[in-house]
Structure 1
Amino acid sequence: MQVMRPVGRQAAARKYDLLSAMMAHALAGDPQRQRLVLRLMALITTRYNWQRDELTMGQREIARLWCVDERTVKRDMARLREAGWIVVKRQGARGRVSVLGLGLERILLDTRADWSNIGEDFTARMGEEAQEAGDPPNVVPFRRPDGTSAEEGGQDGVWPLIRARLRDEDPALFDAWFAPLSSAEGQGGVLHLVAPSRFHATYVRTHLLARLQMAARRSDPTLGEVRVTPG
């Protein structure tokens, strides 16, 4: 998925679209999810710098805005980082608070299933905006050397669950880059994947590793690392 940045001529509309997507996702979830998304939306609408993709706010200030204690702030901010909805751009040090950014791609991926609750026009518009953000580099689907897909190989373990998540998020990207990967035996806490070529492995490590790691953690919290090597 190509992420439309809320800047430029249509910045205002794109900001509302992003917040609308988050709102629809929250309303479709349980009360705990609703509260977490609402708290993030409060940070976005009050302190987030759209142009620089920066959120700089101390825990005490966040606690006051959310009307909670700082322990709750630490817990919920950790949950947002784990979900990939916020990212640490610069770690705080010597009395300075951390500089955070939004994980826009992850937010859009996680909320996409609920866009239709807003309306078909919203779903279509979000798809068009993603395309206008720019086409990805030339993507060439690969096949395993034996001519079968990884799915046809009948692999066991957690990899099929991770594959299913990645397929649901972006079928085209999955077919091109994730489907050809196969799992190999690895040590505890490490998912070892084998790519059909050195180029394929390098591309996945460079451009798609974060998405792989997120899908792995959501499928199995004990997985702390994903390694991709050529076959």
Structure 2
Amino acid sequence: MDLKRFTGPQAGSQKYDLLTAMAIAGLNGTPGFQTSMLRLIALVTARYNWKADEFTVGQRDLGKMWSVDERTVKREIKRLTTAQILLQLRPGVRGRVAAYRLNYAELYRLSAPHWHEVGPDFSARMESSHPQAEPQEQKIVRVDFRSRAEQPADLPQEPWARTLLRLSETEPGLHRNWFSALAFVSYDAGVLCLRAPSSFVGQYVMVHHLRPLQDMAQIEFPGLRRLIISD
């Protein structure tokens, strides 16, 4: 499912549909999940950066918004990331505020069974623009991360496979057209080396699509300082 950025002439109605989906997912959950989704809706409505597709809000500010202490904020963010409703793009280290992105695919999956309860117009619109993704287990089985490049079997490729999986969820179009063609080479001293099928692919990714690739790689490769793509 290709998820477009919430920008352009239809951005307003798309955001309303997203907030509606979040609300009905929460309302049909447990009391604890209802509280989590209410807090998330308040955060998204007030502080989400739609252009960058992320939010960076300190725990103290979140505590004020949610009327809770910072320990509760930490637990809430952990619950939302564990549930894969939020994806951490950059950790909060050395005084830097952590950055998170909404996992639209998961939000739509959670709310899909209840779209019809909102109304036939909403249900038809959502089914047209956000058709149901297959279960996560099936996606993992079907995605062949080595299909476009031969790789030695003894390389530690698990973190890279997880990076590709994250990219397939957050940037499905870019993953299909560009990222899935990249092969893991090595990771040492904070430098992640990848191999592209051609110099054109490698250069294009580095120039145009480095940020989403680096954001997801930093989650699976702690201490990542530099990313190199060779052919």
The TM-score range, normalised by the shorter chain, is: 0.5 to 0.7
User: Normalization by structure 2: what TM-score?
Assistant: 0.59
Residue number in structure 1 paired with 2:26: 26
Relative distance call for 1:70 and 1:200 in structure 2 (3 A) is: same
- Tell me how far 1:47 sits from its aligned partner: 0.7
Residue 88 of structure 1 aligns to a residue in which SS? strand
Contact 1:6/1:50 (CA < 8 Å) preserved in 2? yes
Pair 1:199-2:199 in alignment = no
CA offsets, 1:130-175, max 9 Å, x none? Answer: 37xxxxxxxxxxxxxxxxxxxxxxxxxxxxxxxxxxxx8427x94x
Aligned residue-pair number: 160
3-state SS of paired residue (2:130): helix
Task: Report the equivalent of 2:165.
Answer: 209
8 Å CA contact 1:4–1:129 kept in 2: the answer is no
Distance 1:21 1:90, change over 3 A: same
SS in 2 for 1:101: strand
- The change in CA–CA distance for 1:5 and 1:124 in structure 2 (over 3 A counts) is farther
Question: Is 1:101 the equivalent of 2:101?
Answer: yes
Partner of 1:36: 36
**Where in structure 1 are there 5+ consecutive unaligned residues?**
132-167, 182-194, 214-224, 226-231
Structure-1 residue corresponding to 2:134? 170
Could you tell me which residue of structure 2 aligns to residue 85 of structure 1? 85
Give the aligned partner of residue 58 of structure 1: 58
- Would the alpha carbon gap of residues 102 and 59 (structure 1) be closer, same or farther in structure 2, given more than 3 Å must change? same
Q: Distance in 2 between matches of 1:48 and 1:91?
A: 17
**C-alpha displacement of 1:207:** 8.6
Match of 1:137 in 2: none
Quickly say closer, same or farther: Cα 1:211–1:25, change in 2 above 3 A: farther
Shift of 1:44: 0.3
- Following the alignment from structure 2 to structure 1, what is the Cα–Cα distance between the partners of residues 163 and 146? 14
Identity %: 40
- Look up the match of 1:110: 110
Contact kept, 8 Å, 1:90 with 1:99, in 2: the verdict is yes
Alignment partners' CA distance in 1, 2:142 and 2:15: 36
Between the aligned partners of 1:121 and 1:208, the Cα distance in structure 2 is 35
